[in-house]
Amino acid sequence: MRARLALAWQGLLAGLALAGCAVMFAMMMVIVVDVTLRNIPVPGLPRGLAWSNEISEMMLFLTTMLVAPWLLRQGQHIRVDIVLQALPPRVAWQIEWLGDIVGLACCVFMAWYGTRATWASWSDGSLMIKTLVTPEWWSLAPLPITFVLLSVEMVLRMQRLAAGERAPRQDAVSAA
């Protein structure tokens, strides 16, 4: 049962990462079409897509939110570990714990805060008024979901650290 749950979790994170790649590809296509239409007049079509910058910004944010849990799982997030590699293994392992505890606290706080902000935006009926008019909560909704997923992955990361050797992690290290 535990193995099936772990496999499902990995599948979920991989699926989200794949969705992030699809959003990034769609963003690239929107930008290409916008630049093309601005530079090559096509009868019956507008000179560029007025909403392309706005949509691209939202797509970039969404890509980040979709891919973040998978990156954490793979150990491919930003990590400054040169000091950890230079310290005695046991001390570095303890610092890894401290980093994971702080990371978990930050993820839980962001999930809580993101939920509050999304709920407040939805309750107030707040709108983002630019070229497009959209409900503000649409852009806020991925934040609490992502940080809940990151919180779960931080707990799993701590479990892996507890089960491993008493040394710093060796995934995605910058110095050996």
Whether 104 and 147 map to the same domain: the answer is: yes
Whether 151 and 95 map to the same domain: the answer is: yes
Residue 36 lies in domain:
1-77
- Encode 11-41: b = buried (16+ Cβ within 10 Å), e = exposed: eebeebbeebeebbeebeebbeebeebeeee
What is the per-residue pLDDT across 110-169, written as a single tens digit (0 to 9) for each?
A: 999 999 999 999 999 999 999 999 999 999 999 999 999 999 999 999 999 999 899 888
Whether 51 and 85 map to the same domain: the answer is: no
Listed residues 40, 56, 77: the one ending a domain: 77
On average, the pLDDT of the chain sits at: 93
The CA distance from 76 to 13, in Å, is 13
* Cβ neighbourhood burial of 154 (10 Å; 0-12, 13-18, 19+): buried
Whether 130 and 44 map to the same domain: the answer is: no
Listed residues 24, 57, 77: the one ending a domain: 77
Whether 114 and 67 map to the same domain: the answer is: no
Whether 167 and 115 map to the same domain: the answer is: yes
- Residue 170's φ and ψ, nearest 5 degrees, are -110, 5
